[in-house]
């Protein structure tokens, strides 16, 4: 049971990256999105051009999504490489959320850190 829940969590967390990052952008229908993935505070401070920030954020979000789905599928199928995929996904997700930080993304940061802690502490033990 815990294996199925953990696999579903990894897959759901991965898939939520795509709509969250793709939906951010200019205001549409008078509704302003919570943050703009086309602007990275970290890239701006570093003096890098913001023209490609949106594409980079979508690329990182896609990579995190793909890696989380791979990790979840590996958990579901009893694979052993799920932890590696989950760690890489969490690191990519954290990099994305740090470079484009907005308080609205705090839950995502906590979830990524939770995945890292889970792998580090070998939880759930039934997966090892």
Q: What is the pLDDT along the chain (128 residues), one digit of tens a residue?
A: 889 999 999 999 999 998 888 876 555 666 666 677 788 888 888 887 877 888 888 999 999 999 999 999 999 998 888 999 999 999 999 999 999 888 888 999 999 999 999 999 988 777 77
pLDDT of residue 122: 86
Question: CA torsion 73→79→83→87, rounded to 10°?
Answer: -40
- H or E, element range at 48: none
Tokens of 60: 């990182």
pLDDT of residue 26: 57
User: CA 8 → CA 11, 48, 119, 121, distances in Å?
Assistant: 5, 37, 16, 20
The total of structural domains in the chain comes to: 1
pLDDT of residue 112: 97
Domain contains 29: no
Domain contains 60: yes
Domain contains 52: yes
Place of tokens 């799920």: 82
Per the structure, the complete domain to which residue 19 belongs is given by 2-23+36-127
pLDDT of residue 50: 78
User: Cβ contacts of residue 74 below 8 Å, gap of 6+?
Assistant: 80, 81, 82, 85
Instruction: Please give the span between the terminal C-alpha atoms of the chain, in angstroms, as a whole number.
Output: 15
pLDDT of residue 25: 56
Domain contains 28: no
Asked if residue 17 lies in contact with residue 61, where contact means CB atoms within 8 angstroms, the answer is: yes
């Amino acid at each position: 049971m815990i294996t199925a829940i953990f696999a579903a969590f990894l897959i759901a967390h991965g898939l939520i990256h795509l709509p969250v990052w793709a939906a951010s952008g200019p205001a549409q229908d008078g509704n302003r999105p919570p943050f703009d993935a086309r602007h990275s505070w970290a890239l701006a401070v570093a003096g890098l051009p913001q023209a490609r920030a949106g594409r980079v954020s979508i690329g990182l979000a896609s990579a995190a999504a793909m890696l989380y789905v791979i990790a979840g599928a590996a958990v579901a199928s009893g694979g052993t490489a799920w932890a590696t995929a989950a760690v890489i996904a969490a690191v990519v997700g954290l990099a994305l959320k740090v470079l484009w930080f907005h308080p609205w993304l705090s839950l995502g940061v906590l979830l990524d850190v939770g995945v890292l802690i889970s792998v580090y502490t070998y939880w759930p033990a039934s997966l090892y």
